[in-house]
A and B are shown apart, each in its own frame.
Chain A
């Protein structure tokens, strides 16, 4: 009895004290990994193995957080960035992520790279209710808040991109006869689905041919010849870089000049357009969402100047033509934005909520007009792209920023 009363009194006093001591104090809430002085963020990257070229992304992010810390951190808290090598191996990814969560006790896992690695850790992180923030893969399945409320994407999904091509074609070339060359795996099929969704009811009448190839094929010349025989006037090239170069080269050799659109993945000047030959590559179309660090057009761009300044100070010697440096900067900036929005409520639930309530946020490295928008039912942060045309030795953006929002499945 007495004890019960004491307890009630104590509770009342605490409640009054909390109410009167000001809102700021009452709001300070932390989950594992966040304190008054620091926020611990985990990451896995392929620093070794077949995809080690992407390791630059992790290094850029580390440098970016160092810059943020030097500037005083986020609401006075420093970011502690723990990044491990998973060698692009799913079992290793699981091991390293469990280490991050159970041993390093991070608040969230940020920008883990690769579709297989992310698939491997998704179930674990969602079961533990740990945010899997801004994953570095273009697969469409990350936008699935209903089944995986703790996983959110970042870059435009392959399906969004394909929808944009379809929309553009519907508007500019309504009578086009379209042939699609795609890689026979999830990557290519994502594009195929996006294109069909984009054409909607007109899909069956517009697409006259769907030709797939296996990634193990040494050359896809035979497929190009076959497609040419069907005589389409638009060729959608949903391939990885090596095959992209082969396609552009072969169509030129055949003296065939359809309107060609190549995926953003294969829109690299160095590894696709140049090997295919600049002459053959003229007027090829693609779409982009980020600025090209090597493009002199951005020399006077205030935002890109910040990026260059950052590189000079925190990553001296970094290769400015490497799109991974642009990518890592943009992703890290998005995380900082979400953390800032959290204020003093650094719980995992709130971080996830803030990551899913970004409004018109424009990281420095995205094309002007491309904005990040998320919501409780929209876990696809970037879904806008701009069409671009290959002219001379570089890409030239044209037209409006286009939306490719995909409804979650």
Chain B
């Protein structure tokens, strides 16, 4: 068999000897993961479904950061700001103007795309740690901006805004949690497919060219300024949609929900999932949701320390995150098949 060909064996497990599309999963694995994501809620308690919904939208936010950092090579510690804007746009539209939630999300995305694109302009002059610092400033400022007085009639100020959870439509006999999960799943899959295609397109190649060597990229005729800000915009837009989904799922937005801690969590999720490997985003999101809970289960007083140790182990043992584990798994499966 040709090395580049996919082999689908009994277990529906595709093996790629050479990961020709390092960004994504093979078709077989994707189908398995998709089936799992579709089936699990049918057998799970509402609380688990809620956690899975969290997993999906945080995964989406990590994915957005992955496009920015893994794709175009720009750092951001300011994702929480876009996430917050998205959440607030959705919450305000739903609660103050009674607009249905599925119409709010695209608006949140567009608003955040605009905000990201604009923020990308000054960020153009910065790179590396300086850019990280500039975005950090954005994340620090956001909770206070959300508390601003003249916005209070809409945002509810410090008190935040309670959001009504949507019921399942068409009289479906489905709990609110389950409906929201499937709704989120559809949104996430759509954006995932869009992102994969984006990175494989002309624009995606331009992103990666900039990431790998900015001077070479511009010599090849890539409009560096445009594509850098575009990457910021796309990333912010997707983060905004993720924030909007979070507002609906959590049923509440408050300035304290979108602090710098969130931005760092997203960054952490990206590193743990594997920088530049989109499917890893979900793994990264799982890490930031579940590992703190596990750490708290081990020791309440030392939960922070336990979390630190676990994180350290992950970075030390698998520095490339989930992507490395996936590649190891593939190699192992390949070896088993040969024997």
Contacts and interface: CB of A to CB of B under 8 A. Distances in A.
A98 B252 contact: no
Interface stretch (A85-93, A264-272, A362-370): A85-93
Interface string A76-115: 0000000111011111001100110111000000000001
Interface string B242-259: 000010001111101101
Contacts of B24: none
Given A47-B303, A116-B158, A123-B162, A90 B250 contact: yes
B251 A124 contact: yes
Interface string B315-330: 0000000000000000
B46 interface: yes
Contacts of B251: 94, 120, 123-124
Nearest to A101: B47
Q: How large is the interface on A (under 10, 10 to 19, 20 to 34, 35 or more residues)?
A: 20 to 34
Q: How large is the interface on B (under 10, 10 to 19, 20 to 34, 35 or more residues)?
A: 20 to 34
Contact of A94 (B252, B296, B301, B303): B252
Contact of A120 (B149, B252, B259, B292): B252
A115 B160 CA distance: 10
A27 interface: no
Which 7 residue pairs spanning A and B have beta carbons closest together? Answer: A102-B47, A120-B252, A116-B254, A91-B250, A90-B257, A185-B158, A90-B254
A216 interface: yes
B82 interface: no
Contact of A87 (B158, B162, B261): B261
B250 A116 contact: no
Nearest to B246: A91
B127 interface: no
Determine the main DSSP class of A at the interface with B. helix
A312 interface: no
B200 interface: no
A85 B159 CA distance: 20
Contacts of A91: 246, 250, 252, 257
Given A85-B296, A119-B160, A185-B147, A90 B50 contact: no
Interface of B: 45-47, 50-51, 54, 144, 147, 149, 157-160, 162, 246, 250-254, 256-257, 259, 261, 292, 296, 300-301, 303-304
A399 to B, nearest CB: 33
A85 B300 contact: yes
Nearest to A185: B158
Given A48-B303, A85-B296, A94-B251, A102 B46 contact: yes
A148 B159 CA distance: 16
Contacts of A124: 251
B257 A89 contact: yes
Contacts of B46: 98, 102
Contacts of B157: 185-186
A102 B45 contact: yes
A184 interface: yes
B261 A89 contact: yes
Contact of A85 (B45, B252, B303): B303
12 contacts: A47-B303, A48-B304, A89-B259, A90-B254, A95-B54, A95-B250, A98-B46, A103-B47, A116-B256, A123-B162, A123-B252, A185-B157
B274 to A, nearest CB: 25
Contacts of B47: 98-99, 101-103
